With several copies, the nearest count.
Chain A
Amino acid sequence: MGVEVRILYFGAAQEAAGKSEELLTADNTTTLRTAILEKYPALAGIPFRMALNRNLLKGDSLLAENDIIAILPPFQGG
């Protein structure tokens, strides 16, 4: 079950995951978050947010084929 979505890792999350992107399967963003944390325990130390198709996620969302999920550690621009 679930659909295949593209995951992008940024900043410290990229280092914790050891990659900048990959494909994963999930049906909603909450189960996806859990799956990612199980796969990369080092991510637990990073208070990351997620973006769905370039928009910051607020709450849970169902996933659709080809959705792009970004894993966003706290921003550090400026």
Chain B
Amino acid sequence: MKNRYLTAGPITPLLISELMTLGNDDAGAGAVSVFIGKVRDDETDSGRVKAIEYSAYEEMVSGEAEEIVRIVRAAFSDVRSVIIVHSVGIVRSGEASLFIMITSGHRDHGTRACRHTLEMVKEKLPVWKKEIY
């Protein structure tokens, strides 16, 4: 996928491990805050969720994600790096569909920036889902 903010299919444990090595060479980063969103096997009126198929307006995702990163960096000056990856395509229940990682000098800005990034991803990223039962 040509878009650094999107990945085809689930965000696998292997991909998570790889993403988490980013910034490992920054010895000024004392705090790493990570949020991973996963597909739940919710029981609904239509049955138990087996998977979610995500779609995105890929050409718009980059601009919006870059705007989120800009806002986070401006609001939390101690932040050193921001990683956002969202799945497109089918992600089964139990698998991850969203990865956010913030590295920061100290914990305060990092944990707050992580939560803020998460809220903005939900609000700003042009992504849609369709449950598969």
Contact = CB atoms under 8 A, between A and B. Distances in A.
Interface residues of B, number: 23
Interface residues on A, range: 10 to 19
Nearest to A15: B130
Nearest to A71: B57
A70 B57 contact: yes
B128 A70 contact: no
A77 B59 contact: no
B59 A54 contact: yes
A75 B60 contact: no
Contacts of A12: 128
B121 A78 contact: yes
B86 interface: yes
Pairs of residues from A and B, 4 with the lowest C-beta to C-beta distance, nearest first: A11-B128, A77-B127, A78-B122, A77-B125
Interface of A: 8, 10-12, 14, 51, 54-55, 70, 72-73, 75-78
